Amino acid sequence: MRGRQRDHIHSTYKRANSKERLNAQDIEDGLEETPHDFAKGSGNPPWLRSLPHVIVAALSSFLFGYHLGVVNDTLESISLDLNFHGDTMAEGLVVSTCLGGAFVGSTVSGWIADGIGRRRSFQMCAIPMIIGASVSATADGLGGMLFGRFLVGTAMGVCPPVAALYITEVSPAFVRGTYGSFTQIATCLGLIASFFIGIPAKDVPRWWRVCFWVSTVPAALLALLMEFCAESPHWLMKRGRSAEAEAEFGRLLGGLHVKSSMAELSKTDRGDEVESVKLSELFYGRHFRVVFIGSALLALQQLSGINAVFYFSSTVFKSAGVPSDVANMSVGVVNLSGSIIAMILMDKLGRKGLLLGSFMGMAMSMGMQAVAGSSLVSGSSVVLLSVGGVLLFVLSFAMGVGPVPGLLLSEIFPSRIRAKAMAICMAVHWVINFFVGLLFLRMLEKLGPLILYTAFASFCLVGFLFVRKNVVETKGKTLQEIEMALLPSAELIY
């Protein structure tokens, strides 16, 4: 039966190729395709149906960004109130404890997402977000603050891979890149919100406690609203719940596209989906190359120096006479602007084109930083190259290397290993992130800005070459089309 079905099925979006085939409910709801905006052809499902589900999932990315930036302007006040002011090790722990928690969360994120589903994973993440923020807000010593930050960090480690999985699996193919960019935009908005809310911390006593309490509101909304969102049809099919998967496709794509979507999904349902994935499968055999590419891409993202640039940006702007508040907001606005540009271009230029342009732009801007740190220029030229290099680097990152890898990885990993492979790659991401943050200032002191920024620029060029050789374009293709294209050979993934 399945064999006959496979012989006669067509692509999800090729089956519906005429506006006359829209059902009456879609037209009544105003969800029919449009000749502009997102729609690229009359066979595409209505994009508005899946949009609310994607927006709710992006709340997790907003929380991710908020908790990354919440201690930026409040750290001094926190250290004074909790009696560890001047202890750089303690201050560093308040910042980096989240990274340790994120590593722990990322290592188990795939098993959580596969075990309880994408929706429940979001809701489970909201619990440590709320408890951890509350513990930090009420802390009366360093230990309480670190415990709260660690709890929040574990949720931060689970959220990014689950958000990438969920948005990829519920989005129509022709807007999957656009919707995938929502996570980066939400992260930027979270960072900006944390900077904005943290401004009074220097003048208002104990305002930092309010900053932590504020984060419990979007976390509670995430848990509540996700109850009304669709579960991933891909996950439901893996669990053998095909009737529920069919119902969720109806919610996400409209009744017209349910049968063709189910038929498309069944092409990669090889009967082994419910079997547990062994870690050994991810490190050698036919899946090794694709997992290696994903891990290397995220490693190069961090080795580009993005976190070092974010960390050092305040000092660069301060040397130019720009207050730290203005500097943080400037970097945040540039980051958001680049993310919006990426959202617009993701489904037009494609993932690979954005990555190539992004890595090249980052290499050039890091080169500007290296020149500014050398003896080749002096005076106002140093300030111009430094500030311009920071802003160009952040803009280039936000237009490709920031938002693309998470989306691309969730697209190229086969359905059976998708969640667990994402967990492995995100664990690599957090390890590199931790060591870059830990060693940056010491390397800057020992090596100097010229050598260090030249090294970062070199990693960006390596990233450009790596993407050009190894990354395949996934724009406009269904997940099943990508998987069928990548898996025929056990040796050659591409």
How far apart are alpha carbons 13 and 174 in whole angstroms?
A: 9
Q: Tell me 105's DSSP state.
A: H
The residue behind tokens 């709320």 is 130
Enter the tokens of residue 217: 């509101």
The residue behind tokens 């807000």 is 137
Q: State the pLDDT at residue 440.
A: 76
Q: State the pLDDT at residue 239.
A: 87
Angle at 9 between CA 7 and CA 11, to 5 degrees: 135
Contact 175, 406 (CB under 8 A): no
Can you list the domains of the chain with their CATH numbers?
1-274 (1.20.1250.20), 277-494 (1.20.1250.20)
Torsion angle, alpha carbons of 78, 84, 86, 87, to 10: -120
The dihedrals phi and psi of 332, each to the nearest 5 degrees, come to: -65, -45
The residue behind tokens 């936000």 is 398
Q: State the pLDDT at residue 462.
A: 96
Residue by residue, pLDDT tens for the chain (494 residues) are: 444 443 443 333 333 333 333 343 443 343 344 433 433 434 788 888 999 999 999 999 999 999 988 987 788 899 999 998 888 788 878 888 888 899 999 999 989 999 999 999 999 999 999 999 999 999 999 999 999 999 999 999 999 999 999 999 999 988 888 998 999 999 999 989 998 898 888 889 899 999 999 999 999 999 999 999 999 998 998 888 989 999 999 999 888 888 888 887 776 654 444 456 666 667 776 778 888 999 999 999 999 988 777 766 666 677 667 776 777 788 889 999 999 999 999 988 899 999 999 999 999 999 888 887 776 777 677 778 878 888 999 999 999 999 999 888 888 888 888 888 888 899 898 888 878 777 776 787 788 878 888 999 999 999 999 999 988 888 888 887 777 766 544 333 33
Enter the tokens of residue 489: 């050979």
The residue behind tokens 């190229």 is 412
pTM (predicted TM-score): 0.80
**3-state secondary structure (DSSP) of residue 10:** coil
Q: State the pLDDT at residue 29.
A: 40
Contact 119, 461 (CB under 8 A): no
Which residues, including other chains, have CB under 8 Å from residue 459's CB and lie 6 or more apart?
300, 303, 304, 305
The residue behind tokens 């395709």 is 33
* DSSP sequence for 251-288: HHH-GGGHHHHHHHHHTT--S-TTSPPPHHHHHSSTTH
Contact 156, 62 (CB under 8 A): no
What length is written for the chain?
494
Which residues, including other chains, have CB under 8 Å from residue 250's CB and lie 6 or more apart?
258
Enter the tokens of residue 98: 């989240």
